[in-house]
Structure 1
């Protein structure tokens, strides 16, 4: 009897685990700045009941800040600087959104975040079309076969001709798209959207087009009610355009979408809350749940019983009053439970976590357990680095946590010698977050900060002063690329000569890996020709062992 009870209990636990995993959707929202990414995020939260009012609403008398932009500098600048993690329930699904920075200077944070999502929504401004930063982000998604859904935003404003824009998306982003909704007009003539997925008509109503009529089921586009609803001229144009859509674009197949081979497109206006519920409903139906994750040892399935997860982001001082440091962990398999000892693989030690948190922007709530697909925040006293793995005992190391060669380099100087300790602590913690990379010159031990974008220096300076009470100044350094050095035989005479000749250009990163700071493409080419046994890497993964 006891054996049967044990078998039944085990079966129930497995069933609960499968059900919890299946109802989770973890995705990122990516775009170029000002395409409406954060506004879209907040409208999702509104539908999920997570907030009562969108922070992106602006008027002459009111200027609220977006709920997901919690850092003071983000409020001042009006841009997203750091990835925000937001969780809420919607129609029986547990939704985890990662709202990423759109600005190119913070791209590295976004690239790392893409390791923690199972799908993405790409937001495109109908007037601006495909922009440079969007191209870079989508390229990373395509390389990783991440399922992509495209949302064309701001249809209530004048923009590019729809078919031209779709051609641009295909050509510049290298996507194979199919439209699951279609706009009726644009700008002042924007009347609504026809939902091809549900075969229904969604219309604006009211003088200022701020109200939305419920979807009108319309499987036959030749019904007279279409002419009555949007006018004969608009109805005929819609029929013609949808005929072209059916002929030119492939039919939607979820399998192709899940493999990253087909990308559905939706239209709407995030600011006016138009087409957002329809987008969210279809997304919940077609988007993948937690996916398998590649480790150096083996492929990890999300429904495995044993817990495993990896750190993809670290953020210090989310609450400046408490000087806390949070490590964001994507759960790759099993269940994470509060106050349960887990193996920190790199350190080879077990730790318990008394207050694991789920996030809504800067607000956090202590949770008892989290399932595969979830993002959990762990209070960190300095034990974590980006790329670290937690397990129930297996020595796993996950792949794909990228570190890119910086594009800007500056010496950092202490502007207040009385605050040396504060400056050192601040630099150490900010670099552990991954906001930039720290290098120490071998010949004079001076510290160099390398960033993907110049705006990061302003962020670092601001955070050092406001969060650590330290001040710094910078000196520009004429470096073209940071190249990680690999050599099989460190005692080889050529390697010893390289270190002697290039000593003024050699540094070590915070993982103590050797880096060659090249001042030009020419010097890299000369280096390769003169020292063929030395390999240079321009992109590395965080080494955690």
Structure 2
């Protein structure tokens, strides 16, 4: 009988063929944008069009509408922003969608970077009035570095904004990505009538639904019908579309896969305009899972025995149980719940009895998964971000995920010494999840670790979670350090520890030298030119 041996990870030829077929059905992508561009709203609208939710809740607290399913932390609900990534898996026709919603705020770019390591494609969301904003540019740079194909969705076309040609020029000039509009707006931003479908020349008109809570009603017309019904705005859209063709802006699939060009769609996520078109485009164009490179430079074939890597660890999603979930991207083989796999970092067996499929905060038991899928492993206290899991032999290890260079530092201590045990447990949890980096030294002791963050809002999240999940009120004392370097030789630690600089050890073993300013660093190097210090640009 064809099947897997859960203990050994063996697969038959029939299983291998099934893995290839199932992998071809997967589309795994992330949505990236600047804060307030409508990213979580778009995530919700995509789920609405896939009919996995019945009503969208785009803006928390307005008009009695529900909060988005991908925002579940109390701070997210209160502020209406995404501060942690979330995974949503659902079926759309015969396709399995793995949608990863990323934090929009730049303070959480490290979390977004990890998510982008787990996807095959990205949807870049632009505000029609603002275009390419700073955080969008940073996230696109990560996509470019990882050679991730990008589909662009110009959002909020129902509101006043910039011209469509101007936005396309900005994409071309600022990020050297050739725009290939597949739809073109009929009517300027704020006076949206619908779009010209550049693949067949027809018109897709939209009827505004109340608050966009349900799927938009779509009306299709031929070019002649649109010319008679819509009039001048249709003619202008047609002329601009012709200009696009003349300028070489027609679809080229190979250039899209090579991350040199981007398909562009126009719409409004909050009113569900253009969302179905985007979902259909993802099914049609988004790359399928491919073999993933390992640390030895080889590529793990899709039909090889099961392997996956952990890109996120999260606790507190279920307040009733306070369990911990490790999110892992399946890279090869078939996953069967209950199979025993190997934890590459420790070499120890890892049981997968408590595997779950995730839809925002909601979870259900998952029995089978294939390459491209995201699985949630519950009570995985030994797993860390970047860890590899695999079945069978030989050992496989995928490249780890880097930590970003921190820019803000603060000592942290429990306000009530009687809560020291809960404090230590909470700090360990936040460190394991990557909410903040935790630095320690003998000089300061275990009772006073240092929180290191890319952005100051990470401190707010850490403070809030320690209070609400562990019952610990903390005292934060911000430190004046502004420059950080990695110390190459531990024996040189004593040359750095002083009043304006010190060396601390991060959880992954890296020794980081902190300095109050560049002058302090230069003075040290002038006095001790042989000290080995490495710059930390983005990830380390």
Q: Same fold (TM over 0.5)?
A: yes
**C-alpha contact 1:344 1:351 (8 A) present in aligned 2:** yes
- SS of residue paired to 1:508: strand
CA distance in 2, matches of 1:358, 1:400: 24
CA distance in 2, matches of 1:18, 1:183: 38
Does the C-alpha gap of structure 1 residues 82 and 60 become closer, same or farther in structure 2, counting only changes over 3 Å?
closer
- SS of residue paired to 1:288: coil
**C-alpha contact 1:170 1:177 (8 A) present in aligned 2:** yes
Partner residue in 2 for 1:312: 311
CA distance in 2, matches of 1:200, 1:41: 27
Question: How far did residue 352 of structure 1 move?
Answer: 1.1
CA distance in 2, matches of 1:40, 1:183: 18
**RMSD value over aligned CA atoms?**
2.3
TM-score, normalised on structure 2?
Answer: 0.92
CA distance in 1, matches of 2:493, 2:42: 55
Partner residue in 2 for 1:262: 261
Partner residue in 2 for 1:387: 386
- SS of residue paired to 1:32: coil
Question: How far did residue 541 of structure 1 move?
Answer: 6.4
Question: How far did residue 10 of structure 1 move?
Answer: 3.7
- SS of residue paired to 1:399: coil
Greater CA drift, 436-445 or 55-64: 55-64
Does the C-alpha gap of structure 1 residues 75 and 337 become closer, same or farther in structure 2, counting only changes over 3 Å?
same
Q: Number of paired residues?
A: 525
Partner residue in 2 for 1:287: 286
Do residues 323 (structure 1) and 333 (structure 2) align?
Answer: no
**C-alpha contact 2:515 2:521 (8 A) present in aligned 1:** yes
Partner residue in 1 for 2:509: 512
CA distance in 2, matches of 1:84, 1:472: 27
CA distance in 2, matches of 1:355, 1:444: 39
Does the C-alpha gap of structure 1 residues 281 and 198 become closer, same or farther in structure 2, counting only changes over 3 Å?
farther
Deviations 1:425-459 (A, max 9, x none): 01110111011101113423331101111111111
**C-alpha contact 1:484 1:540 (8 A) present in aligned 2:** no
Partner residue in 2 for 1:145: 147
Q: How do 1:1-20 residues align onto structure 2 when only pairs under 5 Å count?
A: 10-20=12-22
CA distance in 2, matches of 1:367, 1:37: 27
Deviations 1:369-418 (A, max 9, x none): 11111110111352011111101143332225121111111111211111
- SS of residue paired to 1:428: helix
Partner residue in 2 for 1:368: 367
Does the C-alpha gap of structure 1 residues 323 and 60 become closer, same or farther in structure 2, counting only changes over 3 Å?
closer
Partner residue in 2 for 1:538: 536
- SS of residue paired to 1:470: coil
**C-alpha contact 2:34 2:134 (8 A) present in aligned 1:** yes
Question: How far did residue 200 of structure 1 move?
Answer: 2.5
Q: How do 1:388-537 residues align onto structure 2 when only pairs under 5 Å count?
A: 388-392=387-391, 393-399=393-399, 401-445=401-445, 446-487=448-489, 495=492, 498-499=495-496, 504-528=501-525, 530-532=528-530, 534-537=532-535
CA distance in 1, matches of 2:250, 2:189: 28
CA distance in 2, matches of 1:19, 1:215: 34
**C-alpha contact 1:343 1:351 (8 A) present in aligned 2:** yes
Do residues 215 (structure 1) and 220 (structure 2) align?
Answer: yes
Question: How far did residue 528 of structure 1 move?
Answer: 4.8
Partner residue in 1 for 2:5: none
**C-alpha contact 2:163 2:188 (8 A) present in aligned 1:** no
Deviations 1:55-88 (A, max 9, x none): 2167864132111101111111111111010000
- SS of residue paired to 2:118: coil
Question: How far did residue 32 of structure 1 move?
Answer: 0.7
Question: How far did residue 293 of structure 1 move?
Answer: 1.9
Does the C-alpha gap of structure 1 residues 507 and 162 become closer, same or farther in structure 2, counting only changes over 3 Å?
same
Question: How far did residue 285 of structure 1 move?
Answer: 0.5
Unaligned runs of 5+ in 2: 3-10
Do residues 247 (structure 1) and 252 (structure 2) align?
Answer: no
Greater CA drift, 142-151 or 527-536: 527-536
Question: How far did residue 199 of structure 1 move?
Answer: 3.2
Q: How do 1:146-225 residues align onto structure 2 when only pairs under 5 Å count?
A: 146-205=148-207, 212-218=217-223, 223=224, 225=225
TM-score, normalised on structure 1?
Answer: 0.91
CA distance in 2, matches of 1:67, 1:35: 17
- SS of residue paired to 1:202: strand
**C-alpha contact 1:182 1:196 (8 A) present in aligned 2:** yes
